[in-house]
A = this chain, B = another copy of it.
Amino acid sequence: MSPTTLQSWVQVPADSDFTIHNLPYGIFRSSDRSPRAGIAIGDYVVDLVMLAQRGFLNAIPLHTDVFSREYLNDFIALGKPVWQAVRRRITELLTQGNTELQAFADEVLVPARYVQMQIPVKVGDYTDFYSSEEHASNVGKMFRGPENALLPNWKHLPVAYHGRSSSIVVSGTDIIRPKGQLKPPDAPAPTFGPSRRMDFELEVAFVIGKPTQLGEIISTEAAEDHFFGFVLFNDWSARDIQQWEYQPLGPFLGKNFASSVSPWLVPLEALEPFRVPGRAQYPEVLPYLKYKVILFSTFNWKWPCSRKTLRNRYSAGLISDTSTGTSVSNWPTIR
């Protein structure tokens, strides 16, 4: 599980998340640059518009203006061979010993302290999978007591619901405390007012880069080809609103007021060195949900809980999501 040890000529502080092995994508702007795509390295952002305009990506079949959009969607739509080529080329340009960029460093490398980050993608559908056994058990205890924490379907299929796309905002955006109906179990009737039980859920969301058509079903083997990458996701939750409203149709007003995503979208390839075996699936799941895929471990997250692993994901969300034949054409963000 040792990451490779490539070094960049760009200085990367020892505690930085943004080594040459990460190279996440985001949308940034600054006082003299309109919103555009960038890649983080150390305390800098690589301006992909400038990089392309200066001809450094000429060998890759893309139009420069795909990077000067408000969202990464059009770039992501170019497909995996293009993502791979861009990542490979930028890794090359930033690797210690490569001097191609150095004369243009002032133009291409923007100090991170001068930029404002925006939400990286325009989200079509957002699906929330209830895929951590520990989390599902904790929330289940909160609402239904310990004896009904994990419902009978949980070990057989990825339980999930659709969330609100229009209120997904970039991390750092102020969240307005939601109002709603509150009815503690012992109250005779609900009252209306600000939530008193605000909670958050730390999640990893995956961004779909390869769309499907209605009726198309994704196998566990093919699922990874559909992932562009990952963001951190805060599924803000008003537990008092949720408790009173959530039966029988699931959470709605308890969650719809806001969800925060990280500005940086980490490509799947950046996580390759961290693959570990997935959790054993027991009792045995139906064949369409069995995976040989291995998952990822050991993230360092700047969040109250400091380390977390994707290994705890139990089930195969995207496969289940398309098993009915629905489409994932709109870059849903799915955890």
Interface residues of A, Cβ cutoff 8 Å to B = 124-125, 127-128, 130, 140, 143-144, 151, 153, 156-157, 159-167, 169, 176, 178-181, 183, 189-192, 214-215, 217, 238, 241, 244-253, 256-258, 283, 286-288, 320-321, 323-330, 332
Measured CA separation A251–B248 after assembly (Å): 9
* B249/A161 in contact, CB under 8 A: yes
Task: Show 17 residue pairs from A and B whose CB-CB distance is below 8 angstroms, ordered by the A residue.
Answer: A125-B166, A140-B248, A151-B248, A153-B245, A156-B183, A157-B244, A159-B245, A159-B248, A161-B250, A161-B252, A162-B162, A179-B325, A190-B286, A247-B248, A248-B250, A253-B323, A253-B324
A166 touches which of B286, B287, B328 (Cβ 8 Å): B328
Q: Which residues of B contact A217 (CB under 8 A)?
A: 179
Are the C-beta atoms of B130 and A157 separated by less than 8 Å? no
The answer to whether residues A167 and B326 also contact, given A215-B176, A252-B162, A320-B253 and a CB cut-off of 8 A, is: yes
A190 contacts across to B, CB distance below 8 A:
153, 156-157, 286
Complex CA distance for A127 and B165, rounded to whole angstroms? 11
- Taking CB atoms, residues of chain B closer than 8 Å to A244 are 153, 157
**Pairwise interchain contact A161-B161, C-beta atoms closer than 8 A:** yes
Q: Is the CB of B165 within 8 A of A181?
A: no
For the complex, what is the distance from the CA of A325 to the CA of B165, rounded to whole Å?
Answer: 14
Q: Which of B160, B179, B287 contacts A249, CB < 8 Å?
A: B160
Distance in angstroms between the alpha carbons of A242 and B164 in the assembled complex: 20
Given known contacts A166-B332, A252-B161, A256-B162, is B153 in contact with A247 (CB within 8 Å)? yes
B247 touches A166 (CB 8 A): no
Q: Which residues of B contact A245 (CB under 8 A)?
A: 153, 157, 159
Q: Are B165 and A125 in contact (CB under 8 A)?
A: yes
- A324 and B256 form a contact (CB under 8 A): yes
Chain B residues with CB under 8 Å of A140's CB are 248
Find A151's partner among B124, B160, B247 (CB 8 Å cutoff): B247
Across the two chains, which residue of chain B brings its CB closest to A243?
Answer: B153
Given contacts A124-B165, A248-B143, A320-B253, are A192 and B327 in contact (CB under 8 A)?
no
User: Do A166 and B326 form a contact, CB below 8 Å, given A160-B252, A250-B249, A258-B214?
Assistant: yes
B178:A330 contact, CB within 8 angstroms: no
A164 touching B253, Cβ below 8 Å = no
List chain B residues, Cβ under 8 A from A144: 248
Residues of B within 8 A of A161 (CB): 161-162, 249-250, 252
Q: How far is the CA of A136 from the CA of B220 in the complex (A)?
A: 36
Residues of chain B within 8 A of A286, CB atoms compared: 181, 190-192
Q: Which 7 A-B pairs have the closest CB atoms?
A: A250-B250, A178-B324, A162-B162, A257-B324, A161-B249, A176-B215, A249-B250
